[in-house]
Amino acid sequence: MAFFQTPPELGNQYDEDPVLASWLTRHLPEDVLRENLSDLREVGALAAGELHRSLLATQDDEPRLVQWDAWGQRVDRIELTAHWQKVAPIAASKGLIATAYERRFAEHSRIVQFALLYVLEPSTAIYSCPLAMTDGAAKTLLVSGNEALKRRALPRLTSRDPAVAWTSGQWMTERTGGSDVAISETVARRGTDGEFRLYGTKWFTSATTSQMALTLARPDANPPGGKGLALFYVEQRDEDGRLNGISVNRLKDKLGTRMVPTAELTLEGTRASLVYGETDGIKNITPMLNITRTWNAVGAACGMRRAVALARDYARRRVAFGAPLAEKPLHVDTLAAMDAEYQGAFMLTFRAVELLGREEAGVLTEDEAALLRLVTPLAKLTTGKQAVAVASEALESFGGAGYVEDTGLPRLLRDAQVLPIWEGTTNVLSLDVLRALGRSGSAAPLDPIEREVRRCVAGAAKAGCEEAGRVATAAVAHARTWLEETFPRGRAALEGGARGFALTLGRALELALLIDEAAWQAERGDRRAAAAARRLARHGVDAIADAGVEGDTQLLAGG
């Protein structure tokens, strides 16, 4: 009989994930984990079963922009894919936003929320995009103190009822760019009725079917620059369902995230309300940025976990050169390398989640607050890069099948590629790390990271990870020396090395947190994190290049 290869399969995405289960066992109180187990398992079954099958069957579907109705009226309606329509009510009813705001589990609420997301996300075709922005908008409104907007939007943004729940957009990027937002061109004019109306173009608005959005515009009398922008709340449609001075020019033709309806919009008299003051829009939207960056890191970690799960299952099924790939030393070596990167990414991401939950519960220490400010961009930038590398390796581990569309595998790589780009590129996030360290030139703001690494590697011997512990400690020490020596050389030198510096901190933290987990697991006879830590240490943690920027500019000198 002719040979046919059996495809990879997924088991329950909670039950088959020892990394998540072990971490939750350690970091959640027993009763909180017990209370959430059935939801985690239910979501795990959906992610492996119904939603996985639905995504494979409909992965070529795309949202559709209908600009005109049959009678010539401009309607600009975006029709979502059937898969997204299936995911939306599940996301609301499973509390993917609500869990964080109900705070039933106090400081652990964020952990529960992001654990649910992590299990479900890889089968949602990036429905996490509108959810991330919804969470970011809810947080921004909550901290804004704007009672009217809180009353109006928060109950909907955080609802578990799919019929009531809203999602939010985050309209920041204009034709002038998505990184240097301060030069945005959209203006806000106050009418005689006292209401603001917005005029401008938003160039990259993700998930444009949301009911509301937070956006930036410059009240006409304000000066140029970031301080002159104000943060506005916009509802997309009026009570009669008509668009609020918004035209959808076109949907973007993107490399990946193809079910996400990303659009170019023109705002022509869009009614909008100030969220908080008439200036400092960039500063005021940063709560949203920090939340969506955390979502980005969770998306990266669970994307890697899905790639590893598929590659591992396939390695058991695929026989070549007389044995399953899972018994071939070189293939095992490749899978182990992917697994170590994934586990490191997981640890850093969920440490950020844990700190965020403690902040929102009001129990964060001063040291932890400083750590959270640094860990958020570090988790985003470090895991975004890892996600692309792991997805690429996963495709290769399938040979030609990984390059063929109807296996569903190429999508993993295309969707991973957005993670280092949106929500701030690796370089922009590296500069944010410098921003968070302040401009004093002192290395003291690195102390919380050094203390974290020291705390984590204290148990290295217990896990047989002494060498890995030395690698993490040495990398952070090198980062400190680099900062002290580079600061006096000026801003250009500092910025030129910011990516290597930030990646070193991110990877050192990943390694240290893995070692800490390994010490805890070792007492329970589990060696998984220890093996990952030793492996991650060998991959390299210190990414600081000591070369000066003078040489680098020669490389760009044409020819």
Residues that bind ligand MFK (CB under 6 A): 128-129, 132-133, 170, 172-173, 178-179, 181-182, 206, 226, 282-283, 286, 289-290, 292, 295-296, 299, 422-424, 428, 432, 435
CB atoms within 10 A of CB 241: 9
Report, in Å, the least distance between residue 289 CB and ligand MFK.
5
Report the residue number, 133 or 371, with the smaller CB distance to ligand MFK.
133
Burial code of 490-529, b = ≥16 C-beta within 10 A, e = fewer? Answer: eeebbebbbbbbbbbbbbbbbbbbbbbbbbbbbeeebebb
Sign of the torsion formed by the C-alpha atoms of 218, 223, 229 and 232: negative
Report, in Å, the least distance between residue 477 CB and ligand MFK.
26
Report, in Å, the least distance between residue 435 CB and ligand MFK.
6
Report, in Å, the least distance between residue 454 CB and ligand MFK.
25
Report the residue number, 257 or 486, with the smaller CB distance to ligand MFK.
257
Report, in Å, the least distance between residue 464 CB and ligand MFK.
35
Residue 29 β-bridge partners: none
In 3D space, the residue among 119, 108, 90 whose CA is nearest the CA of residue 14 turns out to be 119
Report the residue number, 354 or 432, with the smaller CB distance to ligand MFK.
432
Report, in Å, the least distance between residue 162 CB and ligand MFK.
20
Burial code of 28-54, b = ≥16 C-beta within 10 A, e = fewer? Answer: beeebbeebeebbebbbbbbbeebbeb
Report the residue number, 158 or 521, with the smaller CB distance to ligand MFK.
158
Query: What's the length of the chain?
Result: 559
Report, in Å, the least distance between residue 367 CB and ligand MFK.
17
Cα 130 to Cα 217, 261, 319: the distances in Å are: 21, 10, 41
Report the residue number, 20 or 457, with the smaller CB distance to ligand MFK.
20
Report, in Å, the least distance between residue 465 CB and ligand MFK.
31
In 3D space, the residue among 281, 257, 139, 275 whose CA is nearest the CA of residue 206 turns out to be 257
Report, in Å, the least distance between residue 437 CB and ligand MFK.
11
Report, in Å, the least distance between residue 223 CB and ligand MFK.
13
List Cβ<8 Å contacts ≥24 apart for 456-460.
456/512, 456/513, 456/515, 456/516, 457/512, 457/515, 457/516, 458/519, 459/515, 459/516, 459/518, 459/519, 459/520, 460/515, 460/519
Report the residue number, 130 or 469, with the smaller CB distance to ligand MFK.
130
User: For residues 388 and 301, is the Cβ–Cβ distance under 8 A?
Assistant: no
User: Tokens in use for 152?
Assistant: 């109006």
Report the residue number, 295 or 398, with the smaller CB distance to ligand MFK.
295
- Distance, CA of 451 to CA of 453 (rounded, Å): 5
Sign of the torsion formed by the C-alpha atoms of 49, 50, 51 and 56: positive
Report, in Å, the least distance between residue 503 CB and ligand MFK.
17
Report the residue number, 282 or 371, with the smaller CB distance to ligand MFK.
282
Report, in Å, the least distance between residue 540 CB and ligand MFK.
26
- Distance, CA of 484 to CA of 273 (rounded, Å): 45
Report the residue number, 416 or 537, with the smaller CB distance to ligand MFK.
416
Report the residue number, 448 or 459, with the smaller CB distance to ligand MFK.
448
Report, in Å, the least distance between residue 429 CB and ligand MFK.
8
Report the residue number, 113 or 128, with the smaller CB distance to ligand MFK.
128
User: For residues 521 and 529, is the Cβ–Cβ distance under 8 A?
Assistant: yes
- Cβ partners under 8 Å of residue 217, min gap 6: 184, 186, 187, 188, 196, 198, 200, 229, 230, 232, 272, 281
In 3D space, the residue among 232, 244, 130, 236 whose CA is nearest the CA of residue 184 turns out to be 232
Burial of residue 466 (CB within 10 Å: 0-12, 13-18, 19+) is: middle
- Distance, CA of 171 to CA of 203 (rounded, Å): 8
Report the residue number, 384 or 500, with the smaller CB distance to ligand MFK.
384
CB atoms within 10 A of CB 487: 18
Report the residue number, 236 or 334, with the smaller CB distance to ligand MFK.
236
Q: What is the DSSP string of 65-106?
A: EEEE-TTS-EEEEEEPPHHHHHHHHHHHHTTTTHHHHH-TTG
